[in-house]
Structure 1
Amino acid sequence: MVVVELIQSLVFFGNSANLVRYFLQYMHYSVAQSSNMLTNFMGTSFLLSIVAGYINDTVLSTLIAFIVYVSIELLGFILLTYQATHSNLLPSENETPSYIQAAVLYIGLGAIAIGIGGTKATLPTHGANQLDPNKQNLISSFFNWYYFSINTASIFAATLMVWIEENCGWGWSFTISAILVFCSISIFSSGSRIYRLKQPAGSPLKGLIKVIVASTRKTIDAAAVQVYHNDKEQSYAKETSYNKFKFLNKALKDDTIEVSQVEDTKAFLGLLPIFATTIVLNCCVAQLMTFSVQQGNFMNRKISNFTITTQSISVIPLFFILGTIGLIEKSKDLYSNTGATYNKFYQPLVRMGVGLTLTAVSMAVAAVVESWRLAELNKGYAISVFWLTGQNFLLVLSEVFAVGGMLELFYSDAPNGMKSVSTSLSWCSISLGYFLSSVLVTVCNSVSGRFGQAWIEGQDLNHDRLDLFYALLCLLSLLNVILYVYFAKRY
């Protein structure tokens, strides 16, 4: 699963990192259209993971589901390869695409988005299903190495794949992507005889909705009658060791509701507040792909006579992150060899708390660096682009702790029939984080513009106040940490 995810992430990040240039140079869309197309493509890919997760839990086994999703993705890359290598499917110079040319592009992108969303919903759950659910250390290690593969793919995507696109053309990029996707299908299918497969058990949301409706109806009935008696509900209330969502206990007054359905509903609803607190993290990560790149364009990017690209700076922290994940796994092994039980530090909720805290620290560092950059610029001096490494490292490190912990938590604590849907919430958080970023920029500019100058509305960051926007994100991240601690203590 780790190798297959590495291939899938390499294909996804390798193309999306530079896809704007394909829209601009090959399809002749405007800058604004190209940017929106890219964000829509990435957002749709992550959001489709929720749909795929529901299908996995309801209709298809993870084995069949993966082959279906990735086969659709393969067809998408084949279609884009054909378009990129045939001039009749590309617009002429200075002309926008025709309806047919645009349709081919959107169908190809849509098919790829289905494949990406499907694999994100399938691989983590399928991999964890192969392990003993009673051995939490193994499940934790799997998700760490799963995230390790994503970061490794990001390094190759930002270097090798981007170089191929820039020097060999997009026809080669799409062709190589199609070959890699086919390889991922072959590697995944090779283990079909030994996989531990969990068959879908029908729609998991039906039971959840049924419990909520029944508890609401019985609450209204009890308020009208003011007295009620139900042995099943009272027995359950005495036996349960927690008091979360006690109002759902009233659903047991309905003879068609089982105790297991109430427990599953409580388990899933209990994950939602934790999920909500991760959106701010991904909102901050969005700045890594947007404003940080623009900052680097105004900084000193020279090493001797060689000028480096700003995007390549993001690769440096990834190497440290790979080492960090290895150290975490090594420390877990050393700790387990002492005969001690599962260390609290490695628990998902603790790791997520560390990750969210590091997010606030990274935004504070970003605000300081940008303020210093502007001050030195006013003196006629451009600071080194490597000063962005600190904030990038902290932000990527926060992802390692938070996303790794979130995947483990959402898998381990999800109801048995909702493993894929719950795990998909991790990817849905990324999509909502990008959306929140756009909303914050708009609101921030609107409010700050009323008091003088909009912070980040201009075309030139040298005349904007990005440092104040970073400070705002730091404050929001701190408030988010407080909110997370509140929910985590009551989880």
Structure 2
Amino acid sequence: MSPPPPSNGDVQPSSHNRGGWVTFPFIAATTVGLFIAIGGWMNNILVFMIEEFNCKTINSTQIWNVVHGCVAALPVLGAVVADSLGIFSTIWIFSLVNLLGLILFTIIATVNSLRPPPCEKGSSFCIGPTQAQLAILYMAITLSVIGSAGSRHILGTMGANQFDYDKPRSQRIFWDWFFFIVFIASAISTTLLVYIEDNVSWGIGRFYCHVKPQGSPFKALARVVVAAIRKRKLPLKLAQGYYHGREGDGEVRIVGATPTKNFKFLNRAALISEGDLHEDGSIAKRWRLCTVEDVQDMKTLIKLLPLWSSGLFLATPQTMHSSLTTLQALTMNCSVGRHLNVPAGSILVFNMVSSCVGTVLIDRCLFPLWKKQFGRTPTSLQRVGVGHVLIVISMIVSALVESKRLDVAHYYSKKINAADVVPMSLFWLVPQLALGGFGDAFQLPGHTIFYYQQFPATLKSTSTAVTILLFGIAFYISSAVVDVVQQTTGWLPDDINQRRMDNVYWVLAFLGTLNYGYFLICAWIYKPQGVEEEVGDDCSSSSRQVHVAPENQRLLD
């Protein structure tokens, strides 16, 4: 499926003959390849640890959380490299590292000596992996994780950069279709590749608008903090004005928009004092004087932190839900007919398929209907809010389904001394996964669009990576929560048929509800900056209105 063609005067390159939708097929193809390759091992690592490395279920879940946490957290470091050195070079270098990791995975899966011997049928005794075997596996994981960090999600930033900064509708359409491609690729890796691994063998740019790297933006932000601290005792009457940089003729600019009044302490970093400038107007002491723009960029990041933290507590239930659902599937009837068994690791495909369907429905149905009713499309934060609600509902459904599964497991265990597999179809898990998928279709693009538009222009790669960072941190929080729950409540033993995992889902639903209230407060307080799409549009119209905050107007002039 291809993205909709741009209407007249809509999605076109700005001041050059490169960029725009002509680059989308190349970015889409690369995204599909990377997400399939990485998702093939990542989505099935839990089953691989249990069935091929003879690890215990809860220990494997913890490893699964750590691996997924690294995959989601490290893209921020890749984004820092991309913002500093350039996106295109970063992607191809890290893609090569990822290839090395995948080659090592293939060797592990095909060479028997690199894995522990399989467990004997009917025996509860299994030989675990040696330290050397685990070291080689962790090396493959490390290479693949590092390769993923500098490639997959940065591709989205590269695609969004192909459109003008003041065309939020173009960027919104791109992000919707980018995530559609991501969900499709993830679904393929979760079904086709996982099925092959489980049932066959575990072994088996000239069109682009290039954004020139400007050096590390984080260094400029650090200078704001240091300069503000160093000038904390500077009398304002001795200041010579705020520093805005230099004009084309070298003259110092001290006239312009003054820093905003919030976080006034940071304003001192832009105050010009004696000795701060050379005679030609250049900065003499880089860690004592910053531009007003640098100060405003730092304030923007600070104001975004509360909203970002609400996403963190949204991601934690999702990450726990993924691993716990896979554990549920391992204990349920996975057969479809007489001859086909659905791999437990493939159950998450229903989440991804519903995300794909949801993305299309949102872009093609919800947005036009919403605009017809209210005169504009939903804002990115409204999309995130809907995602919050759907994910909380998915936790409630998960609790109800798990309660039913436990009832069936207890009944058969007492009456007919049944085996570990519960005679209950794993398709009972589909509703909770579908709800979570629809929630992702709302909140993932919503988060990404919001941060891409609100982050400083020098941090565009980082802006798209911070959404993934939410999940990276959430995986580690999930690992800690699993440890606490296991040690204090006994709800999560290795045999999940013997305890109350439904209680875990109820707790997640309760915490998600509290977090939704926190998100509403943060969204109400936050005042959007930069370019925002005030009047949305469907794909058949080219009219739109763009609002530019006064303090950012000079960035577009």
**Same fold (TM > 0.5):** yes
What letter matches 2:186 in structure 1? S
SS at match of 2:150: helix
Residue 360 of structure 2 corresponds to residue 326 of structure 1: yes
Structure 2 counterparts to residues 149-188 of structure 1, below 5 A? 149-172=181-204
**Mapped partners of 1:373, 1:89: distance in 2:** 37
Partner of 2:440: 399
Partner of 1:66: 91
The alpha-carbon deviation at position 201 of structure 1 amounts to: 0.8
What is the SS of the residue equivalent to 2:76? helix
Deviation at 1:257, TM superposition (A): 1.7
**Structure 1 residue 7 displacement after superposition:** 1.7
What amino acid is the match of 2:291?
Answer: E
What SS is found at the alignment partner of 1:320?
helix
User: Alignment partner for residue 81 of structure 1, among 98, 106, 117?
Assistant: 106
399-408 or 320-329, larger mean C-alpha shift: 320-329
2:356–2:441 contact (8 Å) kept in structure 1: no
Counterpart residue identity of residue 184, structure 2: T
Question: 2:312 maps to what in 1?
Answer: 279
- Structure 2 residue aligned with 1:184: none
Secondary structure at the residue paired with 1:205? Answer: helix
In the alignment, which residue of structure 2 is the partner of 1:355?
Answer: 387
Scaled by the length of structure 2, the TM-score of the pair is: 0.73
Closer, same or farther in 2 for the Cα pair 1:249/1:471, shift >3 Å? same
The 2-side partners of 1:70 and 1:8 are apart by 8
CA shift, 1:204, in A, is 0.7
1:248-284: CA deviations, max 9, x gaps? 2232225522111111112222222222111222211
TM-score relative to the length of structure 1: 0.82
Match of 2:219 in 1: 206
- Report the secondary structure of 2:209's partner residue: coil
Mean Cα deviation higher: 291-300 or 137-146:
291-300
What residue is the counterpart of 1:426 in the other structure?
A: 467
Q: Could you tell me which residue of structure 1 aligns to residue 176 of structure 2?
A: 144
- Does 1:232 find its partner at 2:273? no
In the other structure, the counterpart of 2:45 is 19
Map of 1:438 onto structure 2: 479
User: Size of the alignment, in residue pairs?
Assistant: 458
Distance (Å, rounded) in 2 between the aligned partners of 1:153 and 1:7:
8
Q: Look up the match of 1:269.
A: 302
Runs of 5+ unmatched residues, structure 1: 173-191
Deviation at 1:455, TM superposition (A): 4.7
Instruction: Call closer, same or farther: CA 1:293–1:103 in 2, change over 3 Å.
Output: closer
1:480 aligns with 2:481: no
Q: Distance in 2 between matches of 1:83 and 1:481?
A: 43
The Cα RMSD (Å) is: 3.4
Query: Which of these two proteins has the greater Rg computed from alpha carbons?
Result: 2
Q: Are the counterparts in 1 of residues 39 and 186 from structure 2 also a CA contact under 8 Å?
A: yes
CA contact (8 A) 2:194 2:345 kept: no
SS at match of 2:211: coil
1:464 corresponds in structure 2 to: 499
**Which AA in structure 1 matches 2:320?**
Q
Q: Is the 8 A contact 1:74 1:112 kept in 2?
A: yes
Write the letter of the residue equivalent to 2:439.
Answer: S
The DSSP-based 3-state class of the residue aligned with 2:203 is helix
Alignment CA distance shift 1:388-1:78 (3 Å): closer
Distance in 1 separating the partners of 2:303 and 2:163:
24
Taking a change above 3 Å as real, the CA distance of residues 197 and 335 of structure 1, as seen in their structure-2 partners, is farther
For the residue of structure 2 that corresponds to 1:194, the secondary structure is coil
Judge which range, 376-385 or 288-297, deviates more. 376-385
Change (3 A) 1:354 1:240: farther
Q: Are the counterparts in 1 of residues 334 and 342 from structure 2 also a CA contact under 8 Å? A: yes
Q: Quick one: distance in 2 between partners of 1:461 and 1:23? A: 17
Tell me, yes or no, if the aligned pair for 1:46 and 1:427 is still in contact at 8 Å.
Answer: yes
CA distance in structure 2 between the aligned counterparts of 1:88 and 1:344, rounded to whole angstroms: 57
Q: Distance in 1 between matches of 2:358 and 2:50?
A: 38
- DSSP 3-state at the match of 1:76: helix
Which amino acid counterpart does residue 267 of structure 2 have in structure 1? N
Structure-2 change in CA distance of 1:98 and 1:292 (3 Å) = closer
CA shift at 1:122, angstroms? 1.8
Q: Distance in 1 between matches of 2:333 and 2:201?
A: 29
Structure 2 gaps of 5+ residues are 1-26, 119-126, 244-252, 277-288, 413-421, 527-557
Other structure's SS at 1:130 match: coil
Are 2:144 and 1:112 equivalent residues in the alignment?
A: yes
